[in-house]
Amino acid sequence: MKVFVTGAAGFIGSHLCQRLVGMGCHVIGLDNFDSFYDPEVKRRNLSSLMGSTQFDFAEADIRDEHVLHRIMADPIDVVVHLAAKAGVRPSIEDPMGYQDVNIRGTMEVLESARGFGVRKVIFASSSSVYGNNRKVPFSETDNVDNPISPYAATKKAGELLCYTYTHLYDMSITC
């Protein structure tokens, strides 16, 4: 199985890539090493994978359609979309930056997947979509219609885009 993982150098992404390679999957990872988390830590996260014949890596941005097209032109079985501009508080200072990366970037990933016939996509949302919900633990049936930060709103928008692509293009997308 060939799996494309965006946000591959983060904590979750790197561990997922390691697990997938360990299961015998061929993994293509992509990350732009955004400085919200220390880029050197992210490089260390990937260090054990970099010599593997089962792992290829592209240092690039999810908004770069040319890179996405180049990766997906060689048939991909599943896209795991973890990449995002992270951080609730910083999103209040830079809402347009968050919209650009998290919404436009997700659109680029979905459009590329659709265009190259990738039928399965997994999208990583965020617990921030639950807003001021005081009920703990959260449930997937809880209301998520009132985000309280631009970051949360972009992750909710990503969920809605995934739902739309599932409906319009018969893609199997899990959020």
Catalytic residue of the set 151, 163, 165, 169: 151
Owning domain of residue 110: 2-173
Q: Alpha-carbon distance 156 to 84, whole Å? A: 12
Tell me how many domains the chain contains: 1
The pTM for the full model equals 0.94
Instruction: Indicate the average pLDDT of the chain.
Output: 95
Cα 41 to the chain's mean position, in Å? 19
Contacts 24+ apart (CB under 8 A), 17-21: 17/46, 17/49, 17/55, 18/48, 18/49, 21/49, 21/52, 21/54, 21/55
Radius of gyration (Cα) for the chain, nearest Å? 16
Rounded (5°) CA angle 13-18-21:
120
Asked whether residue 142 carries a pLDDT value surpassing 80, the answer given is: no
Tens digit of each residue's pLDDT (9 = 90 or more) over 22-50? 999 999 999 999 988 888 999 999 999 99
169 labelled catalytic: no
Mean pLDDT of 66-77: 98
CATH for 67: 3.40.50.720
Mean pLDDT of 95-111: 98
Q: Alpha-carbon distance 66 to 6, whole Å? A: 15
